[in-house]
Amino acid sequence: MVILGYLLLDEGGAPLATKELVRVFLESDQALFSGVVVAIGNVAEEVFKSKVRHVELESLHLYFAFGKKFNLVLISDVRDDRLLEVSDEAVNRLDKTDVDPSRIQFDDELKRRISGEVERVVFRSPPSILSVRKLAEVLLAGLDVNKGVKLGFIEVKPKTYKPGLLGKIRKIFIGRATLEGLVDAYYKGELSKVVDESPSLFDDEKNGDLARILYAKAALTL
Protein backbone atom coordinates (compact mmCIF):
# COMPACT_ATOMS: atom_id res chain seq x y z
CA MET A 1 0.00 0.00 0.00
CA VAL A 2 1.15 3.53 -0.63
CA ILE A 3 0.08 5.65 2.34
CA LEU A 4 0.75 9.27 1.50
CA GLY A 5 0.01 10.53 4.98
CA TYR A 6 -2.42 10.63 7.84
CA LEU A 7 -4.48 12.99 9.96
CA LEU A 8 -4.88 12.27 13.67
CA LEU A 9 -7.83 13.82 15.49
CA ASP A 10 -9.30 13.67 18.98
CA GLU A 11 -12.65 12.06 19.72
CA GLY A 12 -14.44 15.30 18.85
CA GLY A 13 -12.76 15.69 15.46
CA ALA A 14 -10.22 18.38 16.38
CA PRO A 15 -6.91 17.91 14.47
CA LEU A 16 -3.98 16.81 16.64
CA ALA A 17 -1.27 15.88 14.14
CA THR A 18 -0.77 15.73 10.38
CA LYS A 19 2.03 13.85 8.66
CA GLU A 20 3.00 13.42 5.01
CA LEU A 21 4.78 10.05 4.94
CA VAL A 22 5.69 9.91 1.26
CA ARG A 23 6.88 12.77 -0.88
CA VAL A 24 4.08 13.43 -3.37
CA PHE A 25 5.44 13.52 -6.89
CA LEU A 26 3.40 16.24 -8.61
CA GLU A 27 2.69 19.79 -7.45
CA SER A 28 -0.99 19.29 -8.26
CA ASP A 29 -1.05 16.23 -5.99
CA GLN A 30 0.64 18.20 -3.20
CA ALA A 31 -2.09 20.83 -3.41
CA LEU A 32 -4.73 18.10 -3.40
CA PHE A 33 -3.14 16.45 -0.36
CA SER A 34 -3.16 19.74 1.56
CA GLY A 35 -6.73 20.43 0.48
CA VAL A 36 -7.88 17.02 1.69
CA VAL A 37 -6.34 17.61 5.12
CA VAL A 38 -8.11 20.97 5.41
CA ALA A 39 -11.41 19.53 4.16
CA ILE A 40 -11.33 16.66 6.65
CA GLY A 41 -10.77 19.10 9.48
CA ASN A 42 -13.71 21.21 8.32
CA VAL A 43 -16.20 18.34 8.05
CA ALA A 44 -14.80 16.09 10.78
CA GLU A 45 -17.86 16.32 13.01
CA GLU A 46 -20.24 15.26 10.23
CA VAL A 47 -17.93 12.49 9.01
CA PHE A 48 -17.48 11.01 12.47
CA LYS A 49 -21.21 11.09 13.17
CA SER A 50 -21.86 9.02 10.03
CA LYS A 51 -18.94 6.66 10.83
CA VAL A 52 -18.00 6.40 7.16
CA ARG A 53 -14.95 4.15 6.75
CA HIS A 54 -13.82 4.79 3.16
CA VAL A 55 -14.14 7.81 0.89
CA GLU A 56 -12.89 7.76 -2.70
CA LEU A 57 -11.85 11.06 -4.26
CA GLU A 58 -10.63 11.65 -7.81
CA SER A 59 -7.11 10.36 -7.13
CA LEU A 60 -7.00 9.69 -3.39
CA HIS A 61 -8.59 7.25 -0.96
CA LEU A 62 -9.39 8.13 2.65
CA TYR A 63 -9.68 5.43 5.32
CA PHE A 64 -11.24 6.35 8.67
CA ALA A 65 -10.90 4.66 12.06
CA PHE A 66 -12.75 5.69 15.21
CA GLY A 67 -11.54 5.08 18.75
CA LYS A 68 -12.40 6.09 22.29
CA LYS A 69 -9.80 8.87 22.50
CA PHE A 70 -8.45 9.16 18.96
CA ASN A 71 -9.71 9.14 15.39
CA LEU A 72 -7.42 8.50 12.42
CA VAL A 73 -7.60 9.15 8.68
CA LEU A 74 -5.12 7.37 6.40
CA ILE A 75 -4.63 8.99 2.98
CA SER A 76 -3.62 6.70 0.11
CA ASP A 77 -3.38 7.00 -3.68
CA VAL A 78 -4.26 3.32 -4.15
CA ARG A 79 -7.43 1.56 -3.04
CA ASP A 80 -6.48 -1.12 -0.54
CA ASP A 81 -9.16 -2.20 1.93
CA ARG A 82 -6.48 -3.67 4.20
CA LEU A 83 -6.01 -0.07 5.31
CA LEU A 84 -9.24 -0.41 7.27
CA GLU A 85 -7.52 -3.01 9.45
CA VAL A 86 -4.30 -0.98 9.60
CA SER A 87 -6.13 2.16 10.73
CA ASP A 88 -8.13 0.19 13.33
CA GLU A 89 -4.95 -1.35 14.73
CA ALA A 90 -3.27 2.06 14.97
CA VAL A 91 -6.24 3.60 16.79
CA ASN A 92 -6.51 0.66 19.20
CA ARG A 93 -2.82 1.04 19.96
CA LEU A 94 -3.25 4.76 20.67
CA ASP A 95 -6.32 4.23 22.86
CA LYS A 96 -4.30 1.90 25.10
CA THR A 97 -1.72 4.60 25.86
CA ASP A 98 -1.99 6.94 28.85
CA VAL A 99 -1.81 9.99 26.57
CA ASP A 100 -4.34 12.77 27.02
CA PRO A 101 -5.23 13.99 23.49
CA SER A 102 -5.64 17.57 24.74
CA ARG A 103 -1.91 17.73 25.56
CA ILE A 104 -0.60 16.71 22.14
CA GLN A 105 -0.93 20.08 20.40
CA PHE A 106 1.18 21.75 23.10
CA ASP A 107 3.83 19.06 23.58
CA ASP A 108 6.13 18.33 20.62
CA GLU A 109 7.73 15.34 22.33
CA LEU A 110 4.32 13.82 23.00
CA LYS A 111 3.30 14.46 19.40
CA ARG A 112 6.42 12.63 18.16
CA ARG A 113 5.64 9.73 20.47
CA ILE A 114 2.08 9.40 19.22
CA SER A 115 3.16 9.79 15.59
CA GLY A 116 5.70 7.04 16.16
CA GLU A 117 2.96 4.70 17.39
CA VAL A 118 0.96 5.30 14.21
CA GLU A 119 3.95 4.88 11.92
CA ARG A 120 5.10 1.66 13.56
CA VAL A 121 1.79 0.09 12.57
CA VAL A 122 1.80 1.62 9.09
CA PHE A 123 5.37 0.73 8.14
CA ARG A 124 5.21 -2.91 9.17
CA SER A 125 2.24 -3.52 6.86
CA PRO A 126 3.45 -5.05 3.55
CA PRO A 127 2.48 -3.26 0.32
CA SER A 128 -0.15 -4.68 -2.00
CA ILE A 129 0.68 -5.60 -5.61
CA LEU A 130 -1.32 -2.53 -6.72
CA SER A 131 0.89 -0.29 -4.60
CA VAL A 132 4.08 -1.83 -5.98
CA ARG A 133 2.76 -1.54 -9.52
CA LYS A 134 1.86 2.13 -9.06
CA LEU A 135 5.24 2.91 -7.52
CA ALA A 136 6.94 1.14 -10.40
CA GLU A 137 4.96 3.18 -12.93
CA VAL A 138 6.06 6.42 -11.29
CA LEU A 139 9.64 5.21 -11.02
CA LEU A 140 9.88 3.96 -14.59
CA ALA A 141 8.43 7.22 -15.89
CA GLY A 142 11.64 8.88 -14.74
CA LEU A 143 13.96 6.26 -16.24
CA ASP A 144 15.35 6.03 -19.75
CA VAL A 145 12.45 4.64 -21.77
CA ASN A 146 14.35 4.60 -25.05
CA LYS A 147 15.73 1.11 -24.48
CA GLY A 148 12.49 -0.45 -25.64
CA VAL A 149 12.22 -2.60 -22.53
CA LYS A 150 8.76 -3.09 -21.02
CA LEU A 151 8.25 -4.14 -17.43
CA GLY A 152 5.27 -6.40 -16.83
CA PHE A 153 3.65 -7.43 -13.56
CA ILE A 154 1.73 -10.54 -12.67
CA GLU A 155 0.03 -11.24 -9.37
CA VAL A 156 1.56 -14.18 -7.51
CA LYS A 157 0.97 -15.68 -4.08
CA PRO A 158 3.55 -14.56 -1.51
CA LYS A 159 6.27 -17.12 -0.88
CA THR A 160 6.69 -18.52 2.61
CA TYR A 161 10.30 -19.02 3.59
CA LYS A 162 11.44 -21.50 6.23
CA PRO A 163 13.36 -20.00 9.17
CA GLY A 164 16.99 -19.48 8.25
CA LEU A 165 16.47 -19.92 4.50
CA LEU A 166 17.08 -16.27 3.69
CA GLY A 167 20.27 -16.40 5.72
CA LYS A 168 21.47 -19.42 3.73
CA ILE A 169 20.68 -17.67 0.46
CA ARG A 170 22.63 -14.63 1.63
CA LYS A 171 25.66 -16.80 2.48
CA ILE A 172 25.64 -18.36 -0.99
CA PHE A 173 25.91 -14.92 -2.54
CA ILE A 174 28.19 -13.46 0.12
CA GLY A 175 29.97 -10.33 -1.01
CA ARG A 176 27.05 -8.93 -3.03
CA ALA A 177 23.46 -7.96 -2.42
CA THR A 178 20.61 -10.29 -3.33
CA LEU A 179 17.02 -9.42 -4.06
CA GLU A 180 15.90 -11.77 -1.29
CA GLY A 181 18.24 -10.02 1.12
CA LEU A 182 16.91 -6.60 0.14
CA VAL A 183 13.30 -7.70 0.62
CA ASP A 184 14.20 -9.22 3.98
CA ALA A 185 15.95 -6.00 5.05
CA TYR A 186 13.01 -3.87 3.90
CA TYR A 187 10.45 -5.77 5.99
CA LYS A 188 12.79 -5.70 8.99
CA GLY A 189 12.86 -1.90 8.71
CA GLU A 190 16.54 -1.80 7.69
CA LEU A 191 15.84 0.91 5.12
CA SER A 192 19.35 2.40 5.09
CA LYS A 193 20.72 -1.02 4.17
CA VAL A 194 18.23 -1.28 1.30
CA VAL A 195 19.24 2.17 0.01
CA ASP A 196 22.95 1.34 0.29
CA GLU A 197 22.85 -2.11 -1.33
CA SER A 198 20.09 -1.84 -3.96
CA PRO A 199 22.21 0.06 -6.54
CA SER A 200 24.51 -2.97 -6.90
CA LEU A 201 21.59 -4.81 -8.58
CA PHE A 202 20.39 -1.98 -10.83
CA ASP A 203 22.18 -3.46 -13.87
CA ASP A 204 21.03 -7.01 -13.14
CA GLU A 205 18.93 -8.16 -16.11
CA LYS A 206 16.58 -10.24 -13.96
CA ASN A 207 16.24 -8.20 -10.77
CA GLY A 208 17.30 -4.68 -11.72
CA ASP A 209 13.83 -3.16 -11.98
CA LEU A 210 12.67 -4.71 -8.71
CA ALA A 211 15.81 -3.48 -6.97
CA ARG A 212 15.01 0.03 -8.20
CA ILE A 213 11.48 -0.27 -6.79
CA LEU A 214 12.77 -1.31 -3.37
CA TYR A 215 15.35 1.48 -3.48
CA ALA A 216 12.70 4.11 -4.28
CA LYS A 217 10.26 2.92 -1.61
CA ALA A 218 12.97 2.73 1.07
CA ALA A 219 14.40 6.13 0.14
CA LEU A 220 10.95 7.76 0.20
CA THR A 221 10.23 6.27 3.62
CA LEU A 222 13.49 7.39 5.27
Mean pLDDT along residues 81-109 = 90
CA distance 196 to 200: 9
Q: Which domains does the chain have, with CATH numbers?
A: 3-123 (3.30.450.60), 129-221 (no CATH)
More confident residue, 36 or 89: 89
pLDDT in tens, 140-182: 454 444 444 444 444 444 444 344 444 444 444 344 678 888 8
Confidence of residue 65 (pLDDT cuts 50, 70, 90): very high
Tell me the residue ranges of DSSP E strands in 59-192. 61-66, 70-76
Cβ atoms of 76 and 4 within 8 Å: the answer is yes
pLDDT in tens, 7-36: 898 888 888 888 776 554 444 555 555 666
Q: What pLDDT does residue 82 have? A: 85
Q: Which of 19-23, 86-90, 129-133, 156-160 has the highest mean pLDDT?
A: 86-90
Percent of the chain with pLDDT over 70: 62
